[in-house]
């Protein structure tokens, strides 16, 4: 089992950041790698068990199932139902924690997965840097813009 991980500090309160992240259908509003998102069967995006279909900027498609959503813990977990990535048993968690020294948030995004040994390092790098860190960088920019507006 491999793990991919990225984290950042967002200069905004945890509740503000969580309000953006908790929308399981909202990735295209802040993650620049996601072109479109839709929730299957018209279900609410905060219903555990709902499935979203993401269209990436390159046209590839991913289906993900919301496994857990906690407003108390400010966290969500999801898995791949279908993806172009050569991995199995993928499960990711996105979490927001308050930074007690100032008005900021600690945001972490991680995933565990299984991949062939020949793909493992590349997939870890793809998720940690190409998806998670780039998404967290975009989240910081999005939060900064919305706070100025």
| Cβ neighbours, 10 Å, residue 141 | 11
If you average pLDDT over every residue of the chain, what do you get? Answer: 96
Q: What is the mean pLDDT of residues 8-12?
A: 97
The answer to whether the CB of 149 falls within 8 A of the CB of 16 is no
Q: Which CATH number describes the domain made up of 2-148?
A: 3.30.530.20
Residue 7: is its pLDDT beyond 80?
A: yes
pLDDT tens, position by position, 107-126: 999 999 999 999 999 999 99
Can you tell me the distance from the alpha carbon of 113 to that of 94, in angstroms, rounded to the nearest whole number?
Answer: 15
Show the tokens assigned to 1.
């089992």
Residue 113: predicted pLDDT: 98
pLDDT tens, position by position, 132-142: 999 999 999 99
Q: pTM higher than 0.85 for the full model? A: yes
The residue extents of the domains of the chain are 2-148
pLDDT tens, position by position, 57-70: 999 999 999 999 99
Query: DSSP label at 46?
Result: T
Show the tokens assigned to 63.
């289906």
End-to-end CA distance of the chain: 43
Residue 149: predicted pLDDT: 63
Residue 81: is its pLDDT beyond 70?
A: yes
């Amino acid at each position: 089992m491999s793990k991919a991980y990225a984290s950042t500090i967002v200069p905004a309160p945890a509740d503000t950041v969580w309000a953006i992240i908790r929308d399981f259908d909202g990735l295209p509003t802040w993650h620049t790698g996601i072109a479109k998102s839709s929730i299957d069967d018209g279900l609410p995006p905060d219903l555990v068990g709902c499935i979203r279909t993401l269209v990436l900027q390159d046209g590839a498609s991913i289906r993900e199932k919301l496994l857990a959503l906690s407003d108390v813990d400010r966290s969500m977990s999801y898995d791949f139902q279908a993806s172009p990535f050569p991995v199995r048993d993928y499960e990711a968690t996105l979490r927001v924690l308050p930074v007690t020294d100032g008005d900021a948030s600690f945001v972490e995004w991680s995933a565990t997965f299984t991949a062939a040994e020949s793909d493992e390092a590349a997939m870890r790098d793809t998720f940690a840097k190409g998806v998670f860190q780039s998404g967290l960088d975009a989240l910081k920019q999005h939060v900064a813009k919305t706070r100025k507006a």
